[in-house]
A and B are shown apart, each in its own frame.
Chain A
Amino acid sequence: MDVNEVLLPGVGLRYEFTNADGQRIGIVARRTGEFELVDYPRSDPDEGRPLFRLTAEEADTVAEILGAPRIAERFADLTREVPGLSAGQISVPAESPFAGGTLGQSRARTRTGASIVAVVRGETVIASPAPSQIIEAGDVLVVIGTHEGIAAVREIFRG
């Protein structure tokens, strides 16, 4: 699939692609973390028709919904099969800026590309946590991503 990236100086980025039905779709990713989706009518490909807007939190949730089944399916094999991808465990220190906050607030995946796929709290495991999941000091986060991505997530939670 060809995704065209267009820089919007001062605003963010726009991704454009054509789906299997031949519809041209644009996704505006703003620096502030909000998203806007548009489609382009064939009559005038210059002017996007606004479809909907998503706040940063809503966008994270949509990403979880779209990405979740695939992660569950492939998690086991991924780290073995994809070169450069690995899994890591990060414990959340008491002085972490996000201890007591939600997972979504850290915007860890948006900032690092690495995904937090589970939260281990004592004996319980919260699999595929939602952005609204509260993070507590002492939690252990299971992260998959590149080495750099995992290290960056560790930095974020260390504060």
Chain B
Amino acid sequence: MHTSLALLLELGVILLVLSGLGALARRVGIPPIPLYLLAGLALGEGGLAPVPAAGQFVQAGATIGVVLLLLTLGLEFSTAEFAHSVRGHVPSAAVDLVVNAAPGAVAGWLLGLDGIGILALAGATWISSSGIVARLLSDLRRLGNRETPAVLSVLVMEDFAMAAYLPVLAVLTAGGEWWQAVLGVAVALSAVAAAFFASHRWGHHINRWLAHPDDEQLMLRVLGTTLVVAALAEFVDASAAVGAFLVGLTLTGAAAERARAVLAPLRDLFGAVFFLSIGLAVSVASLVPVLPAALALAVVGGVTKTYTGWVAAGRDGAGRRGKLRAGTALIARGEFSIVIIGLVGAGHAVLGPLVTAYVLLLATLGPLITRWAGSRSPAPSIA
């Protein structure tokens, strides 16, 4: 029973350390993701304390973590909100894609990456962390502000775009020929269409079966279905993450609300394990040479996101300070950039360390910058 003793002990200590780091992050006002990544780095190759026994669990947990992150994202998605965002903010989303993906693509080309590497890096610099940003807006009490709907609309469209982007990347990474990539994308797109059709047509049947009144049954059914669909998606090279996202899309209404509530603790646990595993896969020594590139990308990424938010908030008629708040709120990159790297392989010599450093910088600085940009308000006048 020696192995299980070591496993329990290592896992317990890891979770306690993560809890301590999470509490610390809350106190300083930054999201816990960068600290989880740092913890992974510290435990990994060339780090402070290697954890051989917990390694396998972390690996398996990370796979489930990605699935749960995408599932809850799909659960939060509503067609009505997406349609609303499309009506008002397609130009903002276009600006978002062009100005934020371009720096990543150019950097990838300068670093001599192959096509897949360039595509992955462009995706990693493009996508903001909807988890971090939504949490920030709530914590900074900005939900009442004029610019907030614009920021949230940009996030919704980014999340949706990921449903097309991730399968493309997954197929290309799997070493497919161009026709396999086209086929994979076609499969993924028809799966998205089918999920929408299914949720529209038979949504209430699926919902009724999944939404068992007993919470335990609900959790087991939703999780089981998601893992099976994720496995099928992986089988056709369309990425397990996309499969999970589709299951989330199919569930709607009260069922989605309850599923979110029962899955939240699981998502938090396995999500943390996933960030930890990315840190584990990157060696500290490989981080140092990419730091200058990551720093340069972070500076550019901060500026381009601020511009995106500026444009989006301007469309909703926000003033100069509102536009600045919107822009800086979007700076934080997080779970998606990491998911992209997880897909390509965190072990990739340049990409893994580069994007890890990039997310470390922007997930930490983004929230601090937007806090600062919003706090320079004149003392509230007595109305």
Contacts and interface: CB of A to CB of B under 8 A. Distances in A.
Interface residues of A, number: 29
Given A9-B84, A10-B155, A31 B144 contact: no
Interface stretch (A40-48, A71-79, A85-93, A135-143): A40-48
A6 interface: yes
A73 B145 CA distance: 37
A46 B321 CA distance: 8
B146 A9 contact: no
A150 B375 CA distance: 47
Contact of A159 (B85, B147, B213, B321): B213
Nearest to B326: A46
Contacts of B155: 9-10
Given A11-B134, A97-B213, A42 B84 contact: no
Interface in B119-143: 130, 134, 137-138, 141-143
Interface residues of B, number: 38
B322 interface: yes
Given A10-B130, A41-B381, A46 B76 contact: no
B361 to A, nearest CB: 25
Given A6-B149, A11-B134, A50-B144, A41 B156 contact: no
B85 A9 contact: yes
B143 A39 contact: no
B383 A42 contact: yes
A10 B143 contact: no
Contacts of B152: 8-11
B145 to A, nearest CB: 5
A74 B318 CA distance: 43
In this complex, the member of B137, B145, B380 whose beta carbon has the largest number of chain A beta carbons within 10 angstroms is B145
A7 B145 CA distance: 12
Contacts of A7: 80-81, 84, 149
B257 interface: yes
A30 B144 CA distance: 11
A46 B147 contact: yes
A64 interface: no
A26 B85 CA distance: 21
Contacts of B143: 8, 11, 14, 28, 30, 36, 38, 48
Contacts of B381: 41, 43
In this complex, the member of B130, B142, B146 whose beta carbon has the largest number of chain A beta carbons within 10 angstroms is B146
Given A10-B130, A43-B378, A48 B383 contact: no
A155 to B, nearest CB: 10
5 contacts: A7-B81, A9-B84, A10-B76, A28-B144, A46-B147
Interface of B: 76-78, 80-82, 84-85, 130, 134, 137-138, 141-149, 152-153, 155-156, 213, 254, 257, 318-319, 321-322, 325, 377-378, 380-381, 383
Query: What 9 A-B pairs have minimum CB-CB distances, sorted nearest first?
Result: A48-B144, A38-B144, A46-B322, A9-B81, A50-B141, A46-B146, A9-B152, A9-B156, A26-B144
Given A9-B152, A11-B134, A14-B149, 9 more contacts: A7-B80, A8-B149, A10-B130, A11-B137, A28-B143, A28-B144, A40-B144, A48-B142, A50-B144
